[in-house]
Amino acid sequence: MSKNEKIKSTPEKKIVICISGMAGTGKSTLSKKLAQKYKLKYYSGGDALKELAKDEGYNSSNHGWWESPEGLSFLEKREKNLKFDKAVDDKLLEYAQQGNVILDSWVMPWLLNTGFKIWLVASETKRAERIAKRDKITVREALQVLKEKEARTKVIYKKLYGFALGEDFDPFNLVLETDDLDAGEVFQVLCMIIDNIVLKNKNQ
């Protein structure tokens, strides 16, 4: 077999990137921008849950829906029946197996034994400020709903998978503090990481 034939027969390494972070860290916006830049498919656990909520009769298409009373009502339904989160996670695992994807998910970094995993960090106050601006509510209101939603969501994932969301960083290749960076700067940092680590490893 010639050298060229050997190269052709070598399977291409497929990219799997997981981007996680609590609400208000900008993970969804950044994931979409990175997917567009690197021509990767984008899948969101939050969007998939919204689709399930829609099937249950919720109007989940509104901006900032997760922090709304209706979003918290669906969260209560998820607490009582873990099938919603399990169905979404199983589907994201299928997408990860296909490769060349960016997964916007709180859960995938713990469930996947492959891929490059990024956790975005921002202080509670900074996240509340961002959500307040986005949803046109007060920072105090945003902070209150953040605390409630995240505490209850952590319980769901602890029951399902045993990990502590926002506390256990063992699965991550990169933990990036974003308080002192704007969205453009975070994007530049992540592009540098992907170019010099993820794509470099892919081509080796």
3-state SS, residue 175: strand
Q: 133-152 pLDDT, tens per residue?
A: 988 889 999 999 999 999 99
- Residue 194 corresponds to which amino acid? I
Residue 32 placed within a domain: yes
Q: Which residue has the tokens 């975070």?
A: 186
Concatenating the DSSP letter of every residue in 67-93 gives GSHHHHHHHHHHHH-THHHHHHHHHHH
- Confidence (pLDDT) at 1: 43
Confidence band for 67, pLDDT divided at 50, 70 and 90: confident
Residue 138 placed within a domain: yes
Number of domains in the chain: 1
3-state SS, residue 20: strand
pLDDT higher than 50, residue 9: no
- Residue 69 contacts by C-beta under 8 Å, 6 or more apart in sequence? none
For residue 93, the enclosing domain spans 14-58+67-203
- Confidence (pLDDT) at 171: 94
For residues 27 and 30, what is the distance between their CA atoms, to the nearest angstrom? 5
Total number of residues shown for the chain: 204
pTM of the model: 0.88
Residue 1 placed within a domain: no
Q: 22-60 pLDDT, tens per residue?
A: 999 999 999 999 999 999 999 999 999 999 999 999 999
pLDDT higher than 70, residue 21: yes
Confidence band for 75, pLDDT divided at 50, 70 and 90: very high
Residue 152 placed within a domain: yes
CATH number of the domain where residue 75 is located: 3.40.50.300
Q: How far apart, in Å, do the first and last CA atoms of the chain sit?
A: 21
Q: 183-204 pLDDT, tens per residue?
A: 999 999 999 999 999 998 766 6
